[in-house]
Chains A and B, each alone.
Chain A
Amino acid sequence: AQSVAQPEDQVNVAEGNPLTVKCTYSVSGNPYLFWYVQYPNRGLQFLLKYITGDNLVKGSYGFEAEFNKSQTSFHLKKPSALVSDSALYFCAVREADRGSTLGRLYFGRGTQLTVWP
């Protein structure tokens, strides 16, 4: 079964400090991994994805994520946090497509990031 765990409901960091939002996953085959961000009463915005290739993926707004196959993790990082980064972050996983089977996304429960000025 495919699943995603975001072990922290909340992450608090001071502006200018580095931030990490953790994500671990479970799939039976090769994973496709995604990060989305959600601002209050808004839809999800795509940040970045890992499909194949370099383990370090760079995305929007200065975010990056590192794929670690041995630890089955895909943590989201940013070197210097901004107050405007405060939002709800979702990690999602999908098994690599096989033939005509549409791979479904499985989401974590979300991590609320608060950046203090």
Chain B
Amino acid sequence: DGGITQSPKYLFRKEGQNVTLSCEQNLNHDAMYWYRQDPGQGLRLIYYSQIVNDFQKGDIAEGYSVSREKKESFPLTVTSAQKNPTAFYLCASSIIRAGGRQETQYFGPGTRLLVL
């Protein structure tokens, strides 16, 4: 898990509530990513960011929002519009070399979100 931390480890959401998952890295990585993991479905990309104050939608961005105000932080908000939020959420980061070459992605320990 290296220098990527995610909190909390477990999170409970009530219906209609927005919740925010934290992801912090001290690796000085440029790019950060959020994935959702459901049993038997592998990892699906929610959002990613290459630089501060910029981010792009992944494959399943609906019902989620992100911000990238600092290089080391990339919080994910699960909004009330996400009707099936129960999943394991993984944050990752990577270096981007000169010329745009992306290095290996490294992952945090994950946050499990459960709906009450």
Contacts and interface: CB of A to CB of B under 8 A. Distances in A.
Contacts of A101: 100
- What is the interface residue range for chain B against chain A? 20 to 34
Given A102-B31, A104-B45, A107-B42, A44 B100 contact: no
A42 B1 contact: yes
B96 A41 contact: no
B107 A44 contact: yes
A83 B40 CA distance: 22
Interface string B11-51: 00000000000000000000100000000111101001010
B82 interface: no
B108 to A, nearest CB: 5
Given A42-B1, A44-B90, A97-B101, A109 B108 contact: no
Interface in A100-116: 100-105, 107-110
Interface of B: 1, 4, 6, 31, 40-43, 45, 48, 50, 58, 88, 90, 92, 96, 99-102, 104-110, 112
